[in-house]
Chains A and B, each alone.
Chain A
């Protein structure tokens, strides 16, 4: 499933490169390109996208003014040739910052980073989840970045230097550690239940003794993790 995006950029060459990189990556689908903030806002009033590539300095309103007027919280990658906006980017919880001109390699790094940053929104920006909100992460598997919806993940299993992601349709192996995944997933619907397993709590079918059952898979519950699990599941 591709990330949908729009490009808000008044310099055609810059927009062309971005569109080309999106197509080349096969990860991002460009839904539109807008030369100014007002046209972009008009589009975003009707349609939602996962990601905005947003220039800062444009004719009329600047990129931060667009962010002030957004009614939902897509991911944001700021594109600018000024580094002075880094502080503003931080305040607006921007996912990444691309200094123009940037290469394809830098672009892919930014897309890859989208998985590493949990959505941080201020209370004013928090909106109820809707059908169109997407939560996903990217993992490097089979020499490519693969997008996985978090909601599709059943559980993760540590396999020495690799982590196996088990989803309802497919398994993925990525060179990483379970600890690294803990930092990215814990606190949401995921819980570490054993030194080698993290489970998606919403996918648990049942628990018998010290074993969790998820779609026919059996996951052991570690001694030191049972209490945590019971607390999270509100087991009486």
Chain B
């Protein structure tokens, strides 16, 4: 009798219901998107750091805007919201006023990246078993 394989369950820190709707059970595609995220986020985040250190708030805002979209596509909808708030503050606050929020954003981004790395590895394992 053929064993029915349970579906892939996304990490509890992610918006799993959204990811299930987004990927519709296509774990290979999810793996590809997570891989793209891990390749892209260092590049885009470097722009955030550069802009912050150069005190260039317009560029900081647009750079965070880009990262925000990436977080959304891997299920970090809460981090997406945090990025939106930070992006809004870039147009009204000074670099000094943004410092605390910036540190929080870095911490959350690091944590998110770590979770996605683990999730990517899990997806690869899951998809590898199917072959």
- Closest CB in chain A relative to B14 CB, distance in Å: 12
Interface contact B22-A103, CB-CB below 8 Å: yes
Interface contact A13-B21, CB-CB below 8 Å: no
| B10-50 contact mask (Cβ, 8 Å, vs A): 1 or 0 | 00000000100110100001000100110010000000000
Residue among A17, A101, A104 with most chain B CB within 10 A: A101
- Say what secondary structure dominates the interface of chain B: helix
A-B pair count, CB < 8 Å, reads: 46
Interface contact B73-A17, CB-CB below 8 Å: yes
- In the complex, whether B66 has a CB less than 8 A from a CB of chain A is yes
- Closest CB in chain B relative to A164 CB, distance in Å: 33
The number of residues on chain A lying at the interface, defined by a beta carbon within 8 Å of a beta carbon of chain B, is: 16
| A1-26 contact mask (Cβ, 8 Å, vs B): 1 or 0 | 00000000011111011001000000
Residue from B22, B70, B84 in contact with A11 in the complex, judged by beta carbons closer than 8 Å: B70
- In the complex, whether B113 has a CB less than 8 A from a CB of chain A is no
Interface contact A81-B72, CB-CB below 8 Å: yes
Interface contact A11-B69, CB-CB below 8 Å: yes
Residue among B18, B29, B66, B84 with most chain A CB within 10 A: B66
CB closest residue in chain A, given B62: A57
Residue among A12, A13, A20 with most chain B CB within 10 A: A13
Interface contact A14-B68, CB-CB below 8 Å: no
Docked pose: A103 CA to B22 CA in angstroms: 5
- Closest CB in chain B relative to A98 CB, distance in Å: 12
Residue from B33, B62, B80 in contact with A13 in the complex, judged by beta carbons closer than 8 Å: B33
- Closest CB in chain A relative to B42 CB, distance in Å: 14
- Closest CB in chain B relative to A57 CB, distance in Å: 6
- In the complex, whether A226 has a CB less than 8 A from a CB of chain B is no
6 A–B contact pairs at CB < 8 A?
A10-B66, A17-B22, A17-B73, A57-B62, A101-B69, A101-B72
Q: Which residues of B contact A (CB under 8 A)?
A: 18, 21-22, 24, 29, 33, 36-37, 40, 62, 65-66, 68-70, 72-73, 80, 84
Q: Which residues of A contact B (CB under 8 A)?
A: 10-14, 16-17, 20, 57, 81-82, 100-101, 103-105
